[in-house]
Amino acid sequence: MITSVNTPVQGQLSPTCHQPCHQRPDQHLSIWHYRRSGIYYLRVRPRGCSARSLTISLRSTDRQTAMQFSKDILKTLAVFHLDQPEASWDNLRERLKEIAEDALQGHSEDSRGLYMELYDQMSNHLAEATSLGRFNADQQRAIGTGQRVLRAAQERLGGRPEELTGIIGELSCGTSVAPSPSLSVLRSDEPMTFETLSGLYLAERTGNVTATTHKSVTSACRTLSGLLGDLNIKTHTRADMVALKEKVLEGRKPLTSNKLLTQLSTVMGWAVNNGYLDRSFDKGLKIEKGAESTRKPLTQDQVVKIMDHANDLAEDDWKRWALSIGALTGARIGEIYQLTKEDIKQVDDITVIDINKDENGGKTLKNSFSVRQVPLVDGAYGFSLEVFLEWIDANEGRLFKVKEHSFNKPLNEALRKPLGLASGGNQSFHSLRHSITGLMKAAVIPEGIAQAITGHSSGTITYDLYAGSQKLPVRTLHEALVKAFSLVKS
């Protein structure tokens, strides 16, 4: 399947291709969608020119899903002119300079937070694009510089414009910006272990992900490094990867094994895209059957029993209110633990829990989509908003003052107790999150509203990137939850 789109005039020849196609005033791109091993791919190149092209995995075997992702990712790449494989570094540098200069414009107090979130999301999408696609050296350089521009734009919003103005100066005079470490640091004939390779990957990712995510990725890479040992990853074979899979499967559940194999593919793909490896043989290792999550949602009868138990606890027992918040909002246990008195707010005369990120205050979230305000529905499962607010008034600072390990374990035990469940099973506090999602589905709540309540990404760049700063009204979320809880039989 081939289509064509117009692109802006490039202005000069590519340094690696001098074909006439780069000089036409009305440039066209040819776009291919094709399948390989069932997965859809997107390929873009200038029409009539075979020297330069861009290929990106669309990560789906479903045609409709793949086509939507293709459309979305082309829009994102277009912002930085990364959809133009024939663009030279000078072309890309000029576009980066324009973006950096635009980031210097003033913002109102209301819009400042929206732009901060937008820059964060754009940086994440650039990181995702580089992990999925095979970009040339100029494009990789532009992606790295673009991420630096976005971080500097956030610093500028925080009252620190020095880094952003410095980048604009560097881009104006044509010097390199945040150059990547030279690949000659490691000689081409020098062996490289996965431990060394993953160390390079982790060093580049520092600052682009949350501390929690970085810790998780580091742990996975450490496990993989131990299993691969001294293997020279530069000369690895398919047999080496199959042998690794067998080691990964030993003593691990399929879901855990797949997480490790996914991390392996992420690092190996990054290494190929950045010139550390010529190719990788890690594809197709994941387990297709039996890898579903073993977590089970709680039935509504079970949630009713849990809330009956919670409502019988003392009014000053923190477990009563932590269980209630979990059942009524589906918030993650870590999000609940971080709540402060100031996070219980009135918005449009509706009481909400404000789940926010404040790393200086010790608050961290899974991702930018986790930031949200979730209404509390009075009377749901017998919940008393009045008594809850009295407990809030009696507190200062953090609502849950015990150490985190003294919060998570007792809270899970308090959930299992009325159900007679043993620890270590497939139902836990996190199951409340699955349950409220299922309840909203049964109430035919639109997916976008449900995702706003649970703090999930929509999975499409159209909504997550271009409309990511637009939040649904609290009243809309409240009405959806009231409708969902109306299905609960007391």
Helices (H) and strands (E) in the chain, counts: 18, 8
- Angle between helical axes of 238-249 and 254-273 (0-180°, round to 10): 150
Domain boundary among 139, 163, 180: 180
**10, 30, 72 from 55: Cα distances, Å:** 20, 12, 15
User: What is the number of domains present in the chain?
Assistant: 4
- Measure the CA angle with vertex 357, ends 354 and 362; round to 5°: 115
Domain match, 225 and 157 both: no
Q: How far apart are CA 186 and CA 93, in angstroms?
A: 28
Q: What are phi and psi of 353, to 5 degrees?
A: -100, 130
Provide the residue-wise pLDDT of the chain in tens; the chain has 490 residues: 433 333 333 332 233 333 334 333 344 567 778 888 777 777 776 665 555 566 777 666 777 767 766 665 666 566 677 767 677 888 888 888 888 888 877 655 555 665 676 676 677 667 666 665 667 778 878 888 888 888 888 888 877 888 888 888 888 765 444 444 433 344 456 788 999 898 888 877 766 666 677 778 888 999 999 999 989 999 999 999 999 998 998 888 888 888 899 899 989 988 888 788 888 999 888 877 654 555 678 899 999 999 999 999 999 999 999 999 999 999 998 889 989 999 999 999 999 999 887 755 667 776 667 888 999 999 999 999 999 999 999 999 889 988 887 888 899 999 999 999 887 677 888 889 889 999 999 999 998 899 889 886 544 433 444 444 457 889 999 999 999 999 987 6
Query: The tokens 């879901």 sit on which residue?
Result: 255
Q: Please say whether the beta carbons of 227 and 210 come within 8 A.
A: no
CATH of the domain at 390: 1.10.443.10
Residue 372 CA to chain centroid, in angstroms? Answer: 15
Burial class (CB in 10 A: 0-12, 13-18, 19+), 426: exposed
What pLDDT does residue 4 have? 36
Could you count the other beta carbons within 10 Å of the beta carbon of residue 372?
A: 24
Domain match, 158 and 216 both: no
User: Is residue 490 a part of any domain in this protein?
Assistant: no
Q: How far apart are CA 22 and CA 8, in angstroms?
A: 11
What pLDDT does residue 183 have? 37
Domain match, 469 and 405 both: yes
Domain match, 117 and 229 both: no
User: Is residue 234 a part of any domain in this protein?
Assistant: yes
Domain boundary among 158, 180, 202: 180
What pLDDT does residue 5 have? 38
What pLDDT does residue 386 have? 96
Domain match, 145 and 9 both: no
User: Is residue 355 a part of any domain in this protein?
Assistant: yes
Could you count the other beta carbons within 10 Å of the beta carbon of residue 288?
A: 8
Transcribe 145-162 into DSSP letters: HHHHHHHHHHHHHTT--H
- The DSSP output letter for 23 is G
Query: The tokens 């309840």 sit on which residue?
Result: 439
User: Is residue 68 a part of any domain in this protein?
Assistant: no
Domain match, 307 and 394 both: yes
What pLDDT does residue 124 have? 65
User: Is residue 168 a part of any domain in this protein?
Assistant: yes
User: Is residue 285 a part of any domain in this protein?
Assistant: no
Domain match, 191 and 254 both: yes
User: Is residue 82 a part of any domain in this protein?
Assistant: no
Domain match, 175 and 188 both: no
- For the record, the structure tokens of 90 come out as 């000078």
**Dihedral angle sign, alpha carbons of residues 433, 435, 439, 441:** positive
What pLDDT does residue 271 have? 87
Transcribe 419-484 into DSSP letters: GTPPTTSS--TTHHHHHHHHHHHHTT--HHHHHHHHT---S-HHHHTSSTT-PPPHHHHHHHHHHH
Domain match, 389 and 475 both: yes
* Domain of 230, in residue numbers: 183-273
Q: What are phi and psi of 335, to 5 degrees?
A: -65, -40
Domain match, 422 and 304 both: yes
What pLDDT does residue 147 have? 80
Encoded amino acid at 337, one letter: Y
Q: What are phi and psi of 39, to 5 degrees?
A: -90, 135
Domain match, 465 and 367 both: yes
pTM to 2 decimal places: 0.47
Domain match, 144 and 212 both: no
DSSP strand pairing (27-36 vs 372-375): unpaired
Smallest Cα–Cα separation from 439: which of 328, 351, 334, 360? 328
Q: How far apart are CA 201 and CA 221, in angstroms?
A: 10
Cβ-based neighbours of 81, under 8 Å, separated by 6 or more: 8, 87, 91, 92, 95, 142
DSSP strand pairing (344-347 vs 2-7): unpaired
Domain boundary among 149, 180, 211: 180
Q: How far apart are CA 14 and CA 22, in angstroms?
A: 7
CATH of the domain at 204: 1.10.150
Q: Please say whether the beta carbons of 202 and 271 come within 8 A.
A: no
Q: How far apart are CA 424 and CA 78, in angstroms?
A: 48
What pLDDT does residue 324 have? 96
User: Is residue 146 a part of any domain in this protein?
Assistant: yes
Q: What is the dihedral of CA 201, 263, 435, 442, to 10 degrees?
A: 100
Q: How far apart are CA 383 and CA 320, in angstroms?
A: 10
